[in-house]
Chain A
């Protein structure tokens, strides 16, 4: 990031500290060199207090947040809040790809069961197989716990569907009910603007409303 060098003309070592801060920001999604430089300048020039808070919070989070031993979601303890909550329905388990999916489903406020977070999807071309997404642990949970239904909420992508199918086979042998979340037209959406793949999904997953 040579563009920032004007800041510290005399001290070469400081330039590298600034540059390494800039390139550290580049690891954030959606942050390129320009934005990273703006962020770094802001923190160092105008908000050193904020920078210090950020740095501490980051250190703290890194130290404290790990993975829940049961659901693999992000958690501060050995088990996450959802897994230890006695009000949750322990007979239901929803399989999602990412922690962000758990947040999204929790936001909807309609689900009271447990989760299992794959932290990805089956992707043989990237060397990600069943073990890498924790399916060995998942199978053990299914066998050991009183689970009645598995809800597959992986994304409606080719890999998400493949993963859902693989889990179906894995769970199917245990005599547990398996369901797949419905995919279709978004609320407030208009049919003519929905892409044809989604529309095809919505049609094939249609529901009977009268008999």
Chain B
């Protein structure tokens, strides 16, 4: 298989024997893939092309090989590198970590690819990082078939604005008799409905909690590392 000029972002790179490298790319039509770049390739191009392969840089990559073993043959810059000022780079790395740890290899996710690119731009320019981060998490979960049902509870009844709910990743929201659970584990109906409408202002703490629970359920054993470097507020 020979693929030419595939839009891609680098998610992660690691050294591979013989001074080669393995790159994990998120590509438009092939999803998350691992590609080997031979040391020869890096030397021949004077290293300058290999230097282009940085995270958050829109690339066009060409590669050959089967699903399990692909070899990089060419790289071009598709657009300018998205420079993140200061701590926002850690938020951007967090998106990469989510993709690496949750998305299966060699499965196309073209819409997620577009959303990722848009989210990087939003992370660069938005006044707060919360909105782009939460939106990306929600989109990613939906794309992978783990969508959180924000409109109906576990019995199929529409979420009631005035009711209190418990949330479990396996069941969704379950209505509870008001104050028997402390605030840390409880969700207000009106907050859930606001999330469903994409109105994240004012519910950011609850939404963050909801997404953490859901993401860590789907991550299983894998832990997210980049959060530890997030700006402390």
Contacts and interface: CB of A to CB of B under 8 A. Distances in A.
Interface string B207-233: 000000000000000000110110000
Contacts of B90: 124, 162
Interface stretch (B80-88, B121-129, B145-153): B80-88
A165 B80 contact: no
Interface string B47-68: 0100110111100000000000
Interface stretch (A26-34, A44-52, A66-74): A26-34
A200 B225 contact: no
B22 interface: no
B93 A26 contact: no
A197 B18 contact: no
Interface string A136-170: 00000000000000000000011001100110010
Interface in A107-130: 122, 124-127, 129-130
B19 interface: yes
Given A30-B39, A125-B12, A196-B77, A158 B54 contact: yes
A126 B81 contact: no
Interface string B99-114: 0100000000000000
Nearest to B229: A124
A85 interface: no
Given A125-B97, A158-B54, A195-B51, A165 B87 contact: yes
Contacts of B51: 195, 197
Contacts of A165: 86-87, 89
Nearest to B10: A158
Contacts of A32: 17-18
A4 B152 CA distance: 68
Interface of B: 12, 14, 17-19, 39, 48, 51-52, 54-57, 77, 80-81, 83, 86-87, 89-90, 93-94, 96-97, 100, 225-226, 228-229
25 contacts: A26-B17, A30-B18, A30-B39, A31-B18, A32-B18, A124-B93, A124-B94, A124-B226, A125-B97, A125-B100, A125-B226, A129-B228, A158-B54, A158-B55, A158-B93, A162-B89, A162-B90, A162-B229, A165-B86, A165-B89, A169-B87, A195-B48, A195-B52, A197-B52, A197-B77
